[in-house]
């Protein structure tokens, strides 16, 4: 099956104050696709300069379109990313997302399967 990504009005979000490490970052998300099971999403995401804590329970593939950012795992060294770079974040990643220069990326996110009841 093939899906063309649809445009929509962006969702603008300020990071929760307790997650902020520095700055006053704002993010905009243009979700262009959602799977019928509601577990897979893709689109474009933009962010302004700042840093905040992240904790992943999902898979995410990112491709940087513009700007510069870094990811620093808890207890580790930062990895820098810029235009043309792609990376995958696995469930269990905890650390700091830092936007060094206003940025835009495309993303594909796969949420965890709901726990089976039984």
Residue 9 scores a pLDDT above 70? no
What pTM did the predictor assign? 0.88
User: Is the separation of the CB atoms in 95 and 54 below 8 Å?
Assistant: yes
pLDDT at residue 4, as a whole number: 60
Contacts of range 33-40, beta carbons closer than 8 Å, 24 or more positions apart: 33/3, 33/5, 33/6, 38/111, 39/110, 39/111, 39/112, 39/113, 40/108, 40/109, 40/110, 40/111
Share of the chain above pLDDT 70, in %: 89
Residue with tokens 């490490």: 21
Q: How far is CA 26 from the centre of its chain?
A: 13
* 118 part of a folded domain: no
* 48 part of a folded domain: yes
* 16 part of a folded domain: no
Q: What is the CATH number of the domain that holds 55?
A: 2.60.120.10
């Amino acid at each position: 099956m093939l899906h063309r990504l649809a445009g929509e009005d962006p969702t603008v979000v300020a990071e929760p104050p307790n997650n902020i490490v520095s700055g006053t970052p704002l993010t905009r998300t243009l979700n262009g696709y959602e799977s019928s099971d509601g577990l897979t999403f893709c689109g474009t995401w933009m962010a302004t300069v700042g840093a905040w804590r992240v904790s992943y329970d999902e898979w995410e593939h990112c491709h940087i379109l513009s700007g510069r950012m870094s990811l620093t795992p808890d207890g580790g060294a930062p990895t820098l990313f810029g235009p043309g770079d792609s990376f995958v974040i696995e469930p269990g990643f905890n650390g700091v997302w830092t936007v060094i220069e206003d940025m835009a990326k495309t993303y594909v996110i796969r949420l965890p399967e709901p726990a089976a009841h039984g």
